[in-house]
Amino acid sequence: MESNNYLGIYLGQDKATVVCLSSRDRNRKVLSCFSVSIGQQDGQTVSSTTPVDVELAALIAHSCAQRELQFSHVAVALDCSMFMQHDVHSDFSDPKKIAATVRFDAEEALSADVTDIAVAFRIAATGQNGSDLTVFTAQQKTLSDVLLSMQNNDLDPVTIEPDVNSLSRFLEETLTLPEPQNPATLFGILSDRRGYLVARPESQRAATLRTFLINPTQDRNDLLQRETLLTTALTENGEPTKYLKVFDSTNSVDYQQLSNRLNMQAGDIDLTLSLDIEPQALADCADPVDVAIAYGAAMAHLDKTQTINFRNDFMPYQGQKERLKKTVKFLSVCVTILLFAVGLYFQVRLFQENRKTGRIRTRLAQQYASVMFGKKPSGRTSPVRQLSAELRRIRDVKSGQLNISGEESISAKLTLVLGAFNECAAATNLSIDTISIAPKSITVVGDTSSRKNTLKFFDAVRGSGLEILRYRYDQKGGRDTFSVTAEPKK
């Protein structure tokens, strides 16, 4: 599917015209256009019991497949024979309130039951007393047949609107005139069987739209004169219409005669120039007016202000966008559940590994403390590396390869302390509780018979070649307890 390609279909009772439009940043190009009609499509035969709309939808789908057309959205413009147009007044100015009450206003204006009728509207003018509406009504069965036949052929239209609205959009977006449209210019578009009048006032009022049928034997000058007078009377903009621009597919309108009768400047316009389609491509189409209507329907995605869409009232669009939304929601739920399951799985695995790590660390801490003299493992360095480093240091000390300035071996420290013990142990009634040896110091905890004897022990320690760093003593249980930390003299 091409996201910037749009298919516009002008659907009549027995024929249809299709335009495939490529639109990128307001740059539009017609990729293909063609017309199909009942019983005239490459010899194809369809059962006579097949409904007309089903046959047309099948012909449209078949022709699109033959031309290998790719598009993202479909819009349908209904022929004026399939709907009716009414002027209705609403007491509200808010579009939301108007949309909520327009069926009641239409039922009151028509004096008929609108239960089986689809309603679409556009706001023609607003004021203190409410809004003037142009209301279009179509039988729900007609719309249902069109929608189902289109959907069965993979052509689900986003919008279904009146043909005159599509034509009005086409004129507004593509038609350029040398004369300034002041006051309003009235456009008359005549096909082989239909007539359309579009009056765009200078004010902010919406365009006045009119459609009428044309009999092949009818005088088009008289018909256009009558319909023009009715349309200009409905505009009610306070200024006379001075320009009438007409396109007649049969080239049978006398513009000089119209100018004299209507007291306005009547002239022709060329829709084929605005269509910007090669003549050989137009040869596959029934009528340039039908192509213009289908072209305007394909531009429905550009109308961001007020779109007359029967699908807003009957069988709201549930096509590609809605399917995409549902798919995205479903995928979002699935991805959320998947991520939750994956997170839970890894969380359980992490919890199990942490339990194993905790058990190993507890066992290692006990074994580490037994060989490191009560020292706890450091959180910054691996206990295995600390043990390995300590083992290497002990081996180097024993082998005599380690010579660190200011640090003596454990045996040397013990020798000095034992020398101090032997010198004063008997005289001071010395009792030793613990001896703790660190890499650079030695701590002795014990007691003597008196404070005097404790001080004698301190003097003996100093005399043995040790330097006392700190000490503490106290009286306890008739004995003088002490704790002294010393290191070899430098």
Cβ 164 vs Cβ 209: under 8 Å: yes
Residues 264-269: contacts with CB within 8 Å, 24+ apart?
264/186, 264/240, 267/243, 269/175, 269/177, 269/187, 269/245
pLDDT value of position 333: 93
Cβ 296 vs Cβ 166: under 8 Å: yes
Q: Which CATH architecture does the domain made up of 410-488 adopt?
A: 2-Layer Sandwich (3.30)
The amino acid at 155? L
pLDDT value of position 49: 46
Q: What is the 3-state secondary structure (H, E, C) of the chain?
A: CCCCEEEEEEECCCEEEEEEEEEECCEEEEEEEEEEECCCCCCCCCCCCCCHHHHHHHHHHHHHHHCCCCCCEEEEEECHHHCEEEEEEECCCCHHHHHHHHHHHHHHHHCCCCCCEEEEEEEEEEECCEEEEEEEEEEHHHHHHHHHHHHCCCCCEEEEEEHHHHHHHHHHHHCCCCCCCCCCEEEEEECCCEEEEEECCCCCCCCEEEEEECCCCCCHHHHHHHHHHHHHHHHCCCCCCCEEEEEECCCCCCHHHHHHHHCCEEEECCHHHHHCCCHHHHCCCCCHHHHHHHHHHHHHHHCCCCCCCHHHCCCCCCCHHHHHHHHHHHHHHHHHHHHHHHHHHHHHHHHHHHHHHHHHHHHHHHHHHHHCCCCCCCCCCCHHHHHHHHHHHHHHHHHCCCCCCCCCCHHHHHHHHHHHHHHHHHHHCCEEEEEEECCCCEEEEEEECCHHHHHHHHHHHHHCCEEEEEEEEEEECCEEEEEEEEEECC
Q: What distance, in Å, lies between the first and last C-alpha atoms of the chain?
A: 90
Residue written as tokens 């004096």?
Answer: 111
C-alpha triplet 239, 241, 245: angle, nearest 5° = 160
pLDDT value of position 20: 92
pLDDT value of position 52: 63
**What residues in the chain have per-residue pLDDT under 50?**
41-50, 404-408
Sheet containing strand 243-248, strands side by side: 208-213, 194-199, 185-190, 243-248, 265-268
- The dihedral sign for the CA sequence 107, 110, 116, 120: negative
pLDDT value of position 65: 92
Backbone phi and psi for residue 327, each to the nearest 5 degrees, phi listed first: -65, -45
The predicted-structure confidence for 212-266, as pLDDT tens digits, reads as follows 888 888 889 999 999 888 888 776 555 677 888 999 988 888 989 888 888 888 8
Q: How far apart (Å, rounded) are the C-alpha atoms in residues 423 and 427?
A: 8
pLDDT value of position 404: 47
Q: How far apart (Å, rounded) are the C-alpha atoms in residues 471 and 461?
A: 12
- The dihedral sign for the CA sequence 173, 174, 178, 179: negative
Q: How far apart (Å, rounded) are the C-alpha atoms in residues 70 and 35?
A: 17
35: region left, alpha or beta (phi > 0 left; psi from -120 to 50 alpha): beta
Residue written as tokens 């009438």?
Answer: 244
The structure tokens listed for 324 are 């995409």
pLDDT value of position 176: 67
Backbone phi and psi for residue 200, each to the nearest 5 degrees, phi listed first: -110, 105
Q: How many CB atoms lie within 10 A of CB 433?
A: 11
In 3D, which of 66, 69, 63 has the Cα closest to residue 17? 63
Q: What is the dihedral of CA 66, 71, 74, 80, to 10 degrees?
A: -60
The predicted-structure confidence for 272-326, as pLDDT tens digits, reads as follows 888 878 777 787 787 899 999 999 999 888 766 556 899 888 888 776 666 778 8
Fold of 1-173+273-318: Nucleotidyltransferase; domain 5 (3.30.420)
Q: Which residues contact 219 (CB under 8 A, 6 or more apart)?
A: none
Fold of 176-268: Nucleotidyltransferase; domain 5 (3.30.420)
- β pairing state of 466-476 and 479-488: antiparallel
pLDDT value of position 4: 82
The amino acid at 458? F
pLDDT value of position 341: 93
Give me the percent of the chain exceeding a pLDDT of 70.
83
pLDDT value of position 235: 65
Cβ 420 vs Cβ 460: under 8 Å: yes
Q: How far apart (Å, rounded) are the C-alpha atoms in residues 95 and 88?
A: 14
C-alpha triplet 490, 427, 434: angle, nearest 5° = 60
pLDDT value of position 407: 46
